[in-house]
Structure 1
């Protein structure tokens, strides 16, 4: 049975479960009203998103990004206090953390289960087991069930030092109601499940965070037009990457704070002494 928490769970409790199990589920963290707004805002874009071009991303799976620009409701989930608290603790070994990607993953009927994999496998670089780069979330936008293709997890595999192969039978199913969220590490073996229904699409909002010094999977600066970025609050902009990613990483112009790129009134915000 998978480990689950109520919406009153603390960031420390969820973080501890992630360190021990590789994941944690928080039930009904946001109201259905937020999910309804999210669905209303993003579905026109989902409907226009083409399916994947290979088996891994899913030939009956649609992946819709640029959510900060397209959905104000998604910004609420990106900045959810529990999500940020868990991420801040889990990635606290780095100077800063940032948004890694935003995407709605829609599994259409007939989509087979994805190959079980780790997310933290960039360019074949062997990251140390004791250093985590990712804190991932999957928010249920529709019912996550074994039939619709709920996320598959192989608990505690984030502790395995070597590469392994797992099959669907080895995994547990992260069933969730809309408004619930799955936290999981970049090292745990997981996959999208098989949608075995005839007429139901499984929609999940994938929001991942990473340490501030790596390149983001989704380019937030190009995904969000500057004129929109200028209207967003500072804290969201920092999570998007408008901050230093570490000592002397990411400054602009004359050694200035990255926020000055979208804040004319902050043009004198220098980083040097």
Structure 2
């Protein structure tokens, strides 16, 4: 039976990268401090209590899933922006894009009696259309202890390098057993699934994932965190949500109210009432225009 490698959250990026390349998954222990933990618990428990159970075997008939965490929980935003995880995600994905973006935020609560989820690769969200590159870097934060009994995530180490048609044998599957406060890192190509909760208490994980900046995301961040909310956030988090150009000519918008002084291809930051941090041409454009930034904010966000 294989085992996942566990390192402290203070591990070097070099060590994290080596293990991720070799196994496609690993655990960082002690990733959440007690103060942030308490805030996440306080802010997310009411959200989970108001969440419905899944309606199919994949989402889980005895599982609740709660999204829009950036919009709903200031504490969860800090986990999204965790410097160690974010640096590891950038190191992993930037060979294939100009910038990364937030793909998904979701609390996954396995209730007692929930069976095993089918084994799968998350990259199949994009079908089989990206055979030669890795599109995704994922995390599951343990908000409760993850044990064999309560459904710790099943993982097949090394499967990110397998042929896509190869199926995992039972002896190739292990579980991400880890204490509360740890985080499981895994690639979009590694085979995994939720485990079976045979305990009498919920198992709660916070699934935060990142992907290449030129792909469509699983969670639509512009609806989950619309401009009226996003404009209150730090620029770095706004950009991770997608409120910036993914690369040249990727992600501009046309203001609902045309302005003869400004091209109809403006950067998303203007919808939040600010200029791009790295766009001297846009800054020059604004300096030469009599228009004000506020005129680009959509009517519903004003």
Specify if TM > 0.5: yes
State the shift of 1:171 in Å. 1.0
Mapped to 1, the partners of 2:126 and 2:187 lie a distance apart of 18
Mark the runs of 5 or more structure 2 residues left unpaired by the alignment.
255-263, 286-302
Deviation per CA, 1:169-223: give whole Å up to 9, x if none: 53111011121101100000001000001x2100000000000001111011111
- Do the aligned partners of 2:275 and 2:283 also contact (CA within 8 Å) in 1? no
1:195 pairs with one of 194, 197, 200 = 197
- Do the aligned partners of 1:260 and 1:269 also contact (CA within 8 Å) in 2? no
Mapped to 2, the partners of 1:127 and 1:259 lie a distance apart of 29
Mapped to 1, the partners of 2:87 and 2:124 lie a distance apart of 25
- Residue 107 of structure 2 corresponds to 104
- Residue 58 of structure 1 corresponds to 60
1:128 pairs with one of 115, 131, 154 = 131
- Do the aligned partners of 1:113 and 1:168 also contact (CA within 8 Å) in 2? no
State the shift of 1:264 in Å. 4.6
User: Where do 1:206-245 residues align within 5 Å?
Assistant: 206-245=207-246
Q: State the number of aligned residues.
A: 271
State the shift of 1:251 in Å. 1.0
Alpha-carbon RMSD: 2.0
Computing the radius of gyration from Cα coordinates, the structure with the larger value is 2
- Do the aligned partners of 1:27 and 1:179 also contact (CA within 8 Å) in 2? yes
Mapped to 2, the partners of 1:7 and 1:189 lie a distance apart of 23
Which 4+ runs in 1 deviate beyond 4 A?
Answer: 264-269
- Residue 35 of structure 2 corresponds to 33
State the shift of 1:120 in Å. 0.7
User: Where do 1:1-273 residues align within 5 Å?
Assistant: 1-93=3-95, 94-129=97-132, 131-166=133-168, 169-197=171-199, 199-253=200-254, 254-264=264-274, 270=282
Change (3 A) 1:20 1:272: farther
Mark the runs of 5 or more structure 1 residues left unpaired by the alignment.
none
Mapped to 2, the partners of 1:45 and 1:205 lie a distance apart of 13
Mapped to 1, the partners of 2:20 and 2:30 lie a distance apart of 18
Mapped to 1, the partners of 2:19 and 2:248 lie a distance apart of 30
Mapped to 1, the partners of 2:99 and 2:44 lie a distance apart of 29
Change (3 A) 1:271 1:265: closer
Deviation per CA, 1:28-75: give whole Å up to 9, x if none: 112132122111101111111111110011100111001011111100
